[in-house]
Structures are given as structure tokens and as C-alpha cells.
Amino acid sequence: MGDVEMKKIGILTSGGDAPGMNAAVRSVVRSAIYHELEIIGVNRGYRGLIEGDLAKMDASSVGDIIHKGGTILKSSRSEEFKTIEGRKKAMKNIEDNGLDGLVVIGGDGSFQGARELSSMGIKTIGIPGTIDNDLAYTDYTIGFDTAVNTVLDSISKIRDTSTSHEKVTIIEVMGRKCGDIALHAGIAGGAESIIIPEKSWEINEMVNRLNQAQKRGKLHHIILLAEGAGSAVDMKQELAEKAGIDARVSVLGFIQRGGDPTSFDRILASKMGVYAVELLLDGHTNIVVGIKDNHLFHMGITESLEVKKTFDQEMYRLTEILSF
């Protein structure tokens, strides 16, 4: 395989953590060792790169982590790294540690950071890790499937009590720009209404929907609301003011970012980690890996960030047919 100059690589996790990041770290570390590369772990993402918080890893550094949520390398958001001075400090640590390549596991912000570093001379590759599934170039990001299953588990529990008490419950889930968590968990959990940032909605329509359901005798109703489409607390207030409906609110919050990764996320992470190391060995830089129609592929970071997310109209249509 290709580039003989690649001898030592670094790995970091950055931005919002996601279940399956550990499986990806394990995969990168083990495949680096398989290919006789030295592997250095950078703690706390770009912040650690600036502070020089780097340590050599070996096969046992990643033992017993495939099943764990979070990231053993820790993660951060670094404002300093967004400045040229910050990136120069990071680059000095990269050079002082003799790194030839760097694997960055994170979301679109982290990929922009990797692109900046590649323009300064280090070979970089991004692995998509974020629960939101908001990277349009890939069908799936690591962590999304686990987050959907976490939300699904909550919907099932909330459905029990909401049915017993014949209540309307608004469940707010994560997803600032992308409604994929709400859409997928909502369909799997049989939510009566799903509200996502990609589709405009009106409180009056929701009131009509609830009134019609009540006329048919269905008093319990689960509304799955993506945070990017509004706040559950505001919606509760509006429903009370406009229609005297006393809705309950459950904001699921950070439980969605933790927990044991599903088999899907572990396998995706394992595949992407091995692929990323092989691409670095082949001399690639400034690229990301992704999965499309169950096939791994790679593309330029800039190109990947320019891909516009196409809204899954067919998936949404399911909610219109099945949820009432």
C-alpha cells in the first residue's frame, strides 16, 4: 500500500460527543498498529492539540471500550483553534510530535478545523461522529442510530403513562438543524405528531389535529419535537392559551448523547476507522469518509461540506399516513 512516508499518526475526537466514537478510536488505533504505524492520542480535541496534551497509544489503550459511550480521548469545543494563532500552536505540537497524519472524529465544525490543518501541511482525514446525522454527504453518522434507539426507549415509557392518563405529551429531542432523530424515532415509536425544522408548522394546525383526535376518542397524543423546530415549553404554553390543552413536557436532553452504542454504530465505526487509516497510508489528505447505500467512500472536506441535505420526503410521508 502507497505512501512510505506515513509513519506516525494522531487521532482526536472533537465537538459534541457521540456513542460509537470509542469504537472508531479503537478501530483507528488497532488498524494503525496492524499497518505498523505509531499512533498518538490527542486528548480533548483541538484544545489538547493546542495545549500539547498528546500521548502514545497501543493496542491495549483501546481494550474494553468498543461497548462504551462517550470518548476515552475526551472532546471539547475550542474557540482558540478558530484563530490562526491557535492553529499555529496546534501545528507546532503536530510537528514536535512528528505526526504525518491526523484522524479527526467529529461533525462539520471539526471537519473545517481538519481542513485548516491540512492547508498547513499535515495530512488529515475526517470520520463523521455526531448524533444529529446532519452531515449531508453521508447516509449515516456514528452515534445517530444509538440516539434514535435511546429516544425510542423513552417514547415507549412515556407512551405507557400518557395512555394511562390520557394526556398530550410533548417530547423535545436534539437536532438543531436536522430533524432526523425526531423523524426516525417518531416513526419507530408511533408518535402521533412529528415536528422537525425541515417542515414549517403552525400551532393552530396542531390544535386542530389534537381536537380531531379527541373527537375520535383518542385523548393521549405524543408530539415529537426536534429542538430546531421550537421549544416544548413554549409549545405547552401555546396549547394551553389557544385551546386549554394541558400538555406534559419531557425534554430528553443529554441522555441522547450517551449510552452503549448499538451494533449498527459499532460496526459503522469499525469499518470507517480501518478505511480512514488505509486512505492515509495511500497518501490522501483533506478528505472525509462516509457511507452511501451501504458502501464506504471518501471525498474532499470542502466538497462534503457543500453537499445540501435532501429532505427525505418519503420518510416524512410515512408520518402523514401512519400518525394520527
Catalytic center residues: 132
Spatial distance between the Cα atoms of 130 and 18, rounded to a whole number of angstroms: 5
Residue ranges in 10-29 that form contacts with ligand F6P under rule CB under 6 A: 16
Please report whether residue 180 would count as binding ligand ADP according to CB under 6 A.
no
Residue 140 interaction partner, one of ligand ADP, ligand F6P, none, beta carbon < 5-8 Å per kind = none
The minimum distance between CB 25 and ligand F6P, in angstroms, equals 17
Please report whether residue 137 would count as binding ligand ADP according to CB under 6 A.
no
Please report whether residue 198 would count as binding ligand ADP according to CB under 6 A.
no
Residue 108 interaction partner, one of ligand ADP, ligand F6P, none, beta carbon < 5-8 Å per kind = ligand ADP
Cβ distance to ligand F6P smaller for residue 57 or 252:
252
Q: H/E element holding 46?
A: helix 45-51
For the chain, first and last CA: distance in Å?
A: 56
Query: What is the amino acid identity at position 168?
Result: V
The region of 57-65, 170-178, 185-193, 217-225 touching ligand F6P under the rule CB under 6 A is 170-178
The minimum distance between CB 132 and ligand ADP, in angstroms, equals 8
Residue 131 interaction partner, one of ligand F6P, ligand ADP, none, beta carbon < 5-8 Å per kind = ligand F6P
Spatial distance between the Cα atoms of 78 and 113, rounded to a whole number of angstroms: 10
The region of 19-27, 90-98, 128-136, 262-270 touching ligand F6P under the rule CB under 6 A is 128-136
DSSP per-residue string spanning 237-269: HHHHHHH----EEEE-GGGGG-SPPPHHHHHHH
Among 7, 176, 242, 292, binds ligand F6P (CB under 6 A): 176
DSSP per-residue string spanning 273-313: HHHHHHHHHTT--SEEEEEETTEEEEEEHHHHHHPPPPP-H
The minimum distance between CB 77 and ligand F6P, in angstroms, equals 7
Spatial distance between the Cα atoms of 146 and 249, rounded to a whole number of angstroms: 22
Please return the burial class of 299, using the count of CB atoms within 10 Å of its CB with bins 0-12, 13-18 and 19+. middle
Grid cell listed for 158 = 412515556
Please report whether residue 109 would count as binding ligand ADP according to CB under 6 A.
yes
- Residues 184 and 317 sit within 8 Å (Cβ to Cβ): no
Spatial distance between the Cα atoms of 204 and 225, rounded to a whole number of angstroms: 16
Please report whether residue 112 would count as binding ligand ADP according to CB under 6 A.
yes
Tell me the β-bridge partners of 57: 39
Residue 176 interaction partner, one of ligand F6P, ligand ADP, none, beta carbon < 5-8 Å per kind = ligand F6P
- Interface ranges with ligand F6P (CB under 6 A): 16, 130-132, 174-176, 227, 257
- Interface ranges with ligand ADP (CB under 6 A): 14-16, 46, 77-78, 81-82, 106-110, 112-113, 116, 130
